[in-house]
Structure 1
């Protein structure tokens, strides 16, 4: 992990298109401004992790459905 020190009003860039600016520091909270391309999605970590988990569950369901369909197809083929 890269650790940088920035003061309120200072910025840093991630590549050419993403700018992070430290807006203020109050106690344990830091306000960060983000300039990102319009087509880029930004998630809070807890939302991102929930989306990843839901996608994983959806994929598992799809694989189970595919296996069930294959089993039904095999039964149908055996009857012929």
Structure 2
């Protein structure tokens, strides 16, 4: 993991087309601005993990349905 120190108003670049800017710093939280191409999905990690988990569960359900259909 790369750790970078930034102050309010400072940015960092990821590749050539993603810019992350520190917008605000409060007690215990940081507000970030993210400028990226529209084709890049940006999700909070906890939401990403929830979607990933739900997708895995949906795959399990579909696979069991397919197995039942195959038996008939």
TM-score by length of 1: 0.84
Looking at structure 2, the residues matched to 57 and 17 of structure 1 have their Cα atoms a distance apart, in angstroms, of 34
- The number of aligned residues is 72
Q: How much does 1:69 deviate?
A: 1.1
- Deviations for 1:24-75, whole angstroms, at most 9, x for unmatched residues? 2111110111001112221111211111111001100111011111111xxx
- What is the aligned-residue RMSD (CA, Å)? 0.9
The equivalences for 1:8-47 within 5 A come to: 8-47=8-47
Looking at structure 1, the residues matched to 63 and 49 of structure 2 have their Cα atoms a distance apart, in angstroms, of 21
Q: Give 3-state SS (helix, strand or coil) of 1:70's partner.
A: helix
**Higher helix fraction (1 or 2):** 1
Instruction: Please tell me whether residue 49 in structure 1 is matched to residue 49 in structure 2.
Output: yes
Q: How much does 1:2 deviate?
A: 0.9
Gaps of 5+ in 1: 73-80
Gaps of 5+ in 2: none
The list of structure 1 runs, each at least 4 consecutive aligned residues, that deviate by more than 3 angstroms after superposition, is none
Per the alignment, residue 6 of structure 1 pairs with 6
